[in-house]
């Protein structure tokens, strides 16, 4: 599983990465977590507002720090 955190380094982007990593640790799910800060790459996903979470190429959340329950659901589907 590949999880991309899209964002240019704002506090919400950093918080999103922290929460995703926490949930992965708590659930024992293995995934590659990548921080994507390149604007062109972010726009290719159609994302105009960050932070965004992309799991295996599918945009799951845009413009907010997702809650832990949602992240856990996404990674265990």
Tokens 């949930």 sit at which residue?
23
CB 64 within 8 A of CB 51: yes
Q: What is the dihedral of CA 45, 53, 63, 17, to 10 degrees?
A: -140
Does the active-site annotation cover 13?
A: yes
Does the active-site annotation cover 10?
A: yes
Catalytic residue among 10, 29, 34, 48: 10
Catalytic residue among 3, 5, 6, 13: 13
Kindly list the catalytic residues: 10, 13
């Amino acid at each position: 599983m590949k999880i991309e955190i899209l964002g240019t380094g704002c506090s919400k982007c950093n918080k999103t990465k922290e929460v995703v990593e926490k949930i992965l640790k708590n659930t024992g799910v293995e995934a590659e977590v990548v921080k994507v800060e390149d604007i062109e790459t972010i726009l290719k996903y159609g994302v105009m507002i960050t932070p965004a979470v992309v799991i295996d190429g599918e945009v799951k959340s845009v413009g907010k720090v997702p809650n832990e329950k949602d992240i856990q659901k996404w990674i265990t589907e």
